[in-house]
Structure 1
Amino acid sequence: MDLIATSALDDPLAAARDATADMLRQRWRTYSLPQPFYNDPRVFALDIQEIFTQEWLFVGMTCELPAKGNYLTAQIGDNPIIVVRGDQGAIHAFHNVCRHRGSRLCTQEKGKVAKLVCPYHQWTYELDGRLLFAGQDMGEDFDLSAHGLKPVAVKSAGGFIFISLAEQPPAIDDFLATLDEYLAPYEMDNVKVAAESNIVEQANWKLVLENNRECYHCNGAHPELLNSLIEFDDTDDPRATPAYRDLVARQQAHWERLQVPWALKHFGKRNRLTRTPMIDGVMSMTMDGKPGCGKLMGSLTSPDLGSLRILHLPNSWNHFMGDHAVVFRVLPLGPQQTLVTTKWLVRRDAQEGVDYDPQWLRKVWDATNDQDRQLAEENQRGINSIAYQPGPYSETYEFGVIDFVDWYSETLLSRLDAEAPSLHIVQG
Structure 2
Amino acid sequence: MEQINTALLGTAPGLGDAVQMLQQRRPGYSLPQAFYNSPDVFAADMEQIYGKEWLYVGLTCEIPKEGNFITLEVGNNPITIVRNKQGVQAFHNVCRHRGSRLCTSKKGKVAKLVCPYHQWTYELDGNLLYAGNDMGENFNKAEFPLKKVHTRTGGGYIFISLADNPPEIDDFLAELERYLEPYDLENAKVAVQSEIVEDANWKLVIENNRECYHCNGSHPELLNTLLEFDDTTDPRATDSFKAHVARMGEQWDAEKIPHHHVSFGLRNRMVRMPLAEGKVAMTIDGSHACEKTLGRVKNRELGSLRILHLPNSWNHGQSDHLVTFQVVPMGPQKTKVITKWVVHKDAVEGVDYDVEKLRRVWDATNAQDRTLAEENQRGINSMAYEPGPYSATYEFGVVNFIDWYADTFIGHATGHAGSQTLAIDLPE
TM-score range, shorter chain: over 0.9
TM-score, with structure 2 as normaliser: 0.94
**Alpha-carbon distance between aligned partners in 1 of 2:233 and 2:173, rounded to the nearest angstrom:** 26
Identity of aligned residues (%): 61
* C-alpha deviation, 1:419, in angstroms: 6.6
Match of 1:152, SS state, is strand
Once the two structures are superposed, the pairs formed by residues 189-338 of structure 1 within 5 Å of their partners are: 189-338=186-335
Residues in 1 aligned to 2:23 and 2:141: alpha-carbon distance in whole angstroms? 49
Cα distance in 2 between the residues matched to 1:91 and 1:236: 37
Partner of 2:36: 38
Residue 425 of structure 1 corresponds to: none
Moved >3 Å (runs of 4+): none
Equivalent AA in structure 2 for residue 121 of structure 1: H
Q: Which amino acid aligns with 2:115?
A: C
Structure 1 residue 241, shift from structure 2 partner: 1.3
CA contact (8 A) 2:12 2:40 kept: no
Q: CA deviation at 1:396?
A: 0.2
Alignment correspondent of 1:82: 80
Aligned position for 2:96 = 99
Partner of 2:158: 161
2:45 corresponding residue in structure 1:
47
**Residue 15 (structure 1) shift:** 6.2
CA contact (8 A) 2:13 2:41 kept: no
1:418 matched to 2:423? The reply is: no
- Structure 1 pair 340–419 and aligned structure 2 pair: CA distance change class (3 A): closer
CA distance in 1, matches of 2:384, 2:121: 55
Aligned length: 407
Q: Distance in 2 between matches of 1:418 and 1:188?
A: 36
Q: CA-to-partner distance for each residue in 1:113-139, whole Å, 9 max, x for gaps?
A: 111111111100000000001101111
Summarize the Cα distance change of 1:23–1:321 in structure 2 as closer, same or farther, 3 Å threshold: same
Answer yes or no: is the 8 Å Cα contact 2:198–2:335 preserved in 1: yes
Where does 1:385-404 land on structure 2 (aligned, <5 Å)? 385-404=382-401
Cα distance change on mapping 1:288 and 1:14 into 2, 3 Å? closer
- The question of whether the paired residues in 1 share the 8 Å contact of 2:13 and 2:40 is answered with no
Q: Which runs of 5+ in 1 are unaligned?
A: 1-12, 421-428
Alignment partner, residue 354 of structure 2: 357
Query: After superposition, what is the alpha-carbon deviation per residue over 1:286-334, rounded to whole angstroms, capped at 9, x for unaligned?
Result: 0010010001100111100010000000000000000100001001000
Q: Superposition RMSD on alpha carbons, in Å? A: 1.3
TM-superposed CA distance for 1:14, in Å, is 11
Write the letter of the residue equivalent to 1:30.
Answer: G
Task: State the secondary structure of the residue aligned to 1:52.
Answer: coil
Q: Which amino acid aligns with 2:262?
A: K
Q: Which residue does the alignment assign to 2:425?
A: none
Alpha-carbon distance, 1:29 to partner? 1.1
Q: Quick one: structure 1 residues 289 and 15, their matched pair in 2 at CA, closer, same or farther if it must change by over 3 Å?
A: closer
- In structure 2, what is the Cα distance between the partners aligned to 1:110 and 1:418? 36
Counterpart-to-counterpart distance in 2, 1:419 and 1:189: 37
In structure 2, what residue type is equivalent to 1:83?
I
Residue 171, structure 1, aligned to residue 168, structure 2: yes
1 CA distance for matches of 2:154 and 2:106? 22
- Residue 418 of structure 1 and its aligned partner are, at CA, apart by 3.1
Q: Deviations 1:325-365 (Å, cap 9, x if unpaired)?
A: 00010010000001100000001111111110111100000
Amino acid paired to 2:363: D
In 1: Cα distance, 2:65 partner to 2:235 partner: 48
One-letter code aligned to 1:224: E
